[in-house]
Structure 1
């Protein structure tokens, strides 16, 4: 079997070309991951898909094929993909948001790779300042989730072939649909997930793909640098799945004066300083709590309850313990 039938279907020309169905997309990605597909054909398929615009069925089919190759990952409540941080944004304040959500009792798995950087070094160097430990193996991830309720697992630790496909960006000079698929991957099959996008049209695309994949809880927003991180001075529309049902929820601004996420230049240790309270910055704090609230909505809270819960968690963050987390867990 080759990719030729799928390239032919997508590249026949105006009036005759078509997108792939979910079974076709799944079969195509299965062939790619097997290592048997011609590299030229892989490039042709991915660029045709970019040119035509990927569909929910194609994204879901690719994700299903990738999931079938993954090892078993530890039990997780919230999937938090990170595949964009550091290029057009300031500090990854959302790391503190993820940590805050973990202190609610949810097990949070951050995973990713940042293709425009050297092995995602910028985000990864910020993890320690945010109080999050990077896992090196699946066993390590399970231990850290048990100990801290949160960890960051690099893509190369559980899906090295998928990383090879992401690295093709350096060959194409363009992103491919693989970036979108990685956000949809949810490798631990968590019942809830959050996703950030850079371009707004990807919000309904990923929402529809999540519905096809049977995702129960999902929140997607246009975030800083394409990450799941909200700007607290703007209203934000969440494209959601609640018990698998598509919804849209608009969250109002948290602060009055419009500002960009990268309004101030901070060193990475500002993450630790904000958490400990030695840095006072209402804007940064609102990024953290506002983003955490959006993630809590994915986990099933109402918008009003999520905002209250995020504020309570922030106020109590320095008194956190695993026993407290277990008492708060649903």
Structure 2
């Protein structure tokens, strides 16, 4: 006996009709589909098919924007706003997470930096949560605690499963499906503290336009996306850095010149996390790490709208790094 199709089946049909009939979801369709997934309105096999069809087709800016709207609708309004949203989901494999010291430099200078991420989804990587714990900084258990950390220290790290556990579950499907899915892009754009500026990173340059287009559709005030070291928002100082930006509703791009002469810097074999605090306190020197930190701070300053010119942003970033409170991490520990 014939039965009615499952309500979620229509979204799979849009994506899987074949080469000539398949199309992208509209923003409204994407929002409705993700809302159903988050509310438990889709079966597990449907979710797997949905995510992999999107993966093969490749997500669009409209689709990601719709997904983000659905996620944001489930979140509590934060008690405090951040100045800069900083997603961290890739993990590091070849170098230490020097971008953490860039974020702390900005926090030390007075900007509220909200970092969020998830660990363990890809083997062999060093994740931000472990690094933050080694630095002696607290990890927020929920949005309320995160707001308190942001108020007290101008910096917070909030795990994805602490503010959107359902999205964290979808993220974890990578080990089952064997591939990344649009959830990896979606999580980076959630911006749980409603910051007016966001610094985004990708591993594959082709995803930069998706981030920019989604930010435009979400009416984000300011956003920068670039190919960061290991997929994290960390500038590779020995190479030029191409960024796509959103500023006051307008799309743009900026090319940042390399900060070091050697374009073939070898991977760092010493991934001892204690080196992060040692460099912050001035107990050790590392030319590559320092350039990565200053270069990343410079991009963040441009994202915040503080310095628009790369040279001016770099000079100010260098000054902020030199003026950092070297006792900050000791106090946190």
The corresponding residue for 2:302 is 297
Moved over 2 A (4+): 114-118, 120-123, 128-133, 259-264, 318-321
1:78 and 2:84 aligned: yes
Count matched residues. Answer: 319
Whether the 8 Å contact between 2:14 and 2:22 is mirrored in structure 1 is yes
1:150 paired residue number: 155
Deviations 1:154-193 (A, max 9, x none): 1111100111110111110111000000111111111000
Shift of the 175–36 alpha-carbon distance from structure 1 to 2, 3 Å rule, reads same
1:187–1:273: structure 2 CA closer, same or farther, 3 Å change rule?
same
Contact 2:121/2:171 (<8 A) preserved: no
Matched position secondary structure for 1:76: coil
**Aligned-partner Cα distance in 1 for 2:29–2:127:** 37
Pick one of 179, 184, 203 that aligns with 2:184: 179
| Structure 2 residue 324 is matched with structure 1 residue 317 | yes
Task: Report the Cα distance in structure 1 between the residues aligned to 2:256 and 2:266, rounded to whole angstroms.
Answer: 17
CA distance in 2, matches of 1:223, 1:212: 23
1:70 aligned counterpart, secondary structure: coil
Structure 1 counterpart of 2:314? 307
CA deviation after TM superposition for structure 1 residue 233, in Å: 0.6
Summarize deviations over 1:62-105 as a string: whole Å, max 9, x none.
Answer: 0100110111223111000001113x332111000000111221
User: Helix, strand or coil for the counterpart of 2:59?
Assistant: coil
| TM-score (normalizing by structure 2) | 0.91
Change (3 A) 1:199 1:50: same
CA contact (8 A) 1:231 1:261 kept: no
Partner of 2:112: 107
1:75 partner SS: coil
Aligned-residue CA RMSD (Å): 1.8
Q: Which residue of 1 aligns with 2:239?
A: 234
**1:158-237 alignment, distance < 5 Å:** 158-237=163-242
Unmatched 5+ stretches in structure 2: 1-5, 329-333
Mapping of residues 271-286 of structure 1, within 5 Å: 271-286=276-291
1:326 maps to what in 2?
none
The C-alpha deviation readout for 1:194-218, integer Å capped at 9, x for no partner, is 1110000111111011000011111
SS in 1 for 2:141: coil
**TM-score after normalising by structure 1:** 0.92
Alignment of 1:20-31 (within 5 A): 20-31=25-36
Ranges in structure 1 where 5+ consecutive residues have no aligned partner: 322-330
Q: 2:304 and 2:180 mapped to 1: Cα distance?
A: 30
Partner of 1:17: 22
- Report SS of the residue matched to 1:163: helix
Matching residue of 1:127: 132
